[in-house]
Amino acid sequence: MIRSAAVDLGASSGRVIGGSFDGSKLHMEEIHRFSNQPITVLGRMYWNAYRLYADMREGIIKSAKALGRIDSIGIDTWAVDYGLLDVYGMLLNLPRHYRDMRTDGMMDKVTERIDRKSLFDRTGIQFMSINTIFQLAAELEQNPAVLERAAHLLLMPDLLNYFLTGQIQSEFTNATTTQLLNAVDGDWDQTLLKQLGIPCRLFTRIAMPGTKLGAIADAELLQYPELRFTHVVHVASHDTASAVIAVPAKEQVHAYISSGTWSLFGTTVPEPIINEQTEAMNFTNEGGFNNYRLLKNIMGLWLIQQTQDSFEAQGAPSDILTLMQMAEKSPAFSFYFDTEDARLLHPGDIPARIREICEETGQAQPVSHGALVRGILENLAFKYRYTLEQLERILGNRVETIHIVGGGAQNELLCQFTANVTNRPVLAGPIEASAMGNLLMQLWALGELKGTAQLRELVLRSCVTKAYEPIDADVWEDQYGQYLQKMATIQQSN
Ligand code: LFR
């Protein structure tokens, strides 16, 4: 029996999941769950990297106590954010949160120096203000002294791996999300870095997922005999990359939505697709395990999470199940909005911002909390349909099934709306997709899986899914038409 621990950190919570592999089936159990609360100080938003490390360490200790000898550990987190180390290996500051306002306007500044087309051609990565490239442009402008002192830049999972092992390395899947990797050779793009004035010395060797990183060096953990021979492994350290490894797809042409704080809508392709069409549609080509994820970021359940916070602050019901029941009973299609409106990216009173958007676009504001929540879910579903059509145009093929994986697969209303609006069957699950993908890469690194076919079979055998068939597809078709019209008028007026 192989016993592993997957550390999977999301933007709102983290977990350590234990995995046991008996040669034919992967059994998973949640060992430790903790909240991940960013901290804002003087208007700057940070991730509490030390707290996250302490929580993760607690989870590893609990895993050792629950499972016995731990053969391997792997860490995955969200993408794009980084910590800077000085020459002595000290973390210079807590990593900034990608939703911090510091990147506002940075995309325009960078694309004045390097034109959009050449940036996309070089990297294959979509333009989003959160990308590391734009965060570094902000750092150069607002905090150049820190960059001068820095010797290494490590993305979140690489930073936590460093705390755990003392090793300084970058993992490929997450590195692609920086928009600083060359799509052809898969290495840091020195020309790009020089053009932007970002010091090349910050960037370290890139390791591939499914390889070993080293042993635990943390003295507190080494007190436990169960952890003395543990291999720390490079999994696909970008949580979305891990989740996509665990998509139980039988068909060649399929789409997935990795649904959590974000909804990542896309498919896998053998090589990056970098052409005028993907550039114009702002699709991305993120590195995966032996493939690329052609996808688009959609605002996702962030809108619901922030709405819950606002309701809670007002003393109104805010737990997710109550909100979903309220939404289900509320009138359908009461307003349309663009879920990707830039105002919705930053934390704050999202319901108020949506009401403001309704007013600006000549629509009545949602009448109740239930109607607001329902409207958010409906408009996310419309955006899914829109993205599906773009994806099918790029692929030149019809997508037969949509897989929804990750925590959002538990949102039955959203899964059903997705089936309705796309008029396709939706297969929801696994819920802990990132942790599963993480564990699978650990098994790969340990040599337990003989080839990708065996990996696929294990995914299919280990996943629990729930099927949704479209209901009222014609009503949704009609509403989608109205949504498109509304979006077109908004675009014209901008
Ligand atoms: C999802 C995710 C997305 C990435 C966003 C920010 O958790 O990793 O893939 O675009 O977070 O890092």
- The CA distance from 21 to 4, in Å, is 8
Token output for 75: 């860490």
If you take atom 10 of ligand 1, which residue's CA is the nearest one?
Answer: 79
| Whether pLDDT at 494 is above 80 | no
The position carrying tokens 């995309």 is: 107
Average pLDDT over residues 387-400: 97
341, amino acid identity: D
3-state SS, the chain, equals CEEEEEEEECCCEEEEEEEEECCCCEEEEEEEEEECCCEEECCEEECCHHHHHHHHHHHHHHHHHHHCCCCEEEEEECCCCEEEECCCCCECCCCECCCCHHHCCHHHHHHHHCCHHHHHHHHCCCCCCCCHHHHHHHHHHHCHHHHHHCCEEEEHHHHHHHHHHCCCCEEHHHHHCCCCECCCCCCECHHHHHHHCCCHHHCCCEECCCEEEEECCCHHHHCCHHHCCCEEEECCCEHHHHHHHCCCCCCCCCEEEEECCCEEEEEEECCCCCCHHHHHHCCEEEECCCCEEEEEEECCCHHHHHHHHHHHHCCCCCCHHHHHHHHHHCCCCCCCCCCCCHHHCCCCCHHHHHHHHHHHCCCCCCCCHHHHHHHHHHHHHHHHHHHHHHHHHHHCCCCCCEEEECHHHHCHHHHHHHHHHHCCCEEECCCCHHHHHHHHHHHHHCCCCCCHHHHHHHHHHHCCCEEECCCCHHHHHHHHHHHHHHHHHHHHHC
If you take atom 9 of ligand 1, which residue's CA is the nearest one?
Answer: 240
414, amino acid identity: L
State residue 267's pLDDT score: 98
| Whether pLDDT at 491 is above 90 | no
pLDDT (tens digit per residue) in 55-95: 999 999 999 999 999 999 999 999 999 999 999 999 999 99
pLDDT (tens digit per residue) in 266-313: 999 999 999 999 999 999 999 999 999 999 999 999 999 999 999 999
If you take atom 11 of ligand 1, which residue's CA is the nearest one?
Answer: 78
Closest ligand 1 atom to Cα of 286: 9
Distance 261 CA to ligand 1 centre (A): 8
- pLDDT-based confidence at residue 30 (cuts at 50, 70, 90): very high
Q: Which pairs with CB-CB distance under 8 Å and at least 24 residues apart come from 133-136? A: 133/178, 133/179, 133/180, 133/192, 133/196, 134/103, 134/106, 134/107, 134/110, 134/179, 135/80, 135/81, 135/82, 135/96, 135/98, 135/102, 135/103, 135/106, 136/180, 136/196, 136/198
- The CA distance from 231 to 218, in Å, is 13
- pLDDT-based confidence at residue 235 (cuts at 50, 70, 90): very high
Active-site positions read 239
The residues lining ligand 1, judged by C-beta closer than 6 Å to any ligand atom, are 10-11, 78-80, 98, 130, 238-240, 260-262, 264, 297
> Which phi and psi angles does 171 have, rounded to 5°?
-105, 140
Distance 58 CA to ligand 1 centre (A): 24
pTM value is 0.98
pLDDT (tens digit per residue) in 100-110: 999 999 999 99
- The CA distance from 63 to 32, in Å, is 8
Closest ligand 1 atom to Cα of 10: 7
Pocket test for ligand 1, best of 128, 262, 305 (most atoms within 8 A of CB): 262
Pocket test for ligand 1, best of 76, 133, 177 (most atoms within 8 A of CB): 177
- pLDDT-based confidence at residue 251 (cuts at 50, 70, 90): confident
Token output for 151: 């010797």
State residue 70's pLDDT score: 98
State residue 118's pLDDT score: 96
Task: Report the share of the chain in percent with pLDDT over 90.
Answer: 97
Distance 262 CA to ligand 1 centre (A): 7
State residue 233's pLDDT score: 98
| Whether pLDDT at 493 is above 90 | no
Token output for 363: 């629509």
Instruction: Say if CB 53 and CB 163 are below 8 A apart.
Output: yes
pLDDT (tens digit per residue) in 412-459: 999 999 999 999 999 999 999 999 999 999 999 999 998 999 999 999
Pick from 59, 122, 135, 50: nearest CA to 96: 135
- pLDDT-based confidence at residue 161 (cuts at 50, 70, 90): very high
Average pLDDT over residues 204-219: 98
As a whole number, the mean pLDDT across the chain is: 97
If you take atom 4 of ligand 1, which residue's CA is the nearest one?
Answer: 79
Distance 409 CA to ligand 1 centre (A): 17
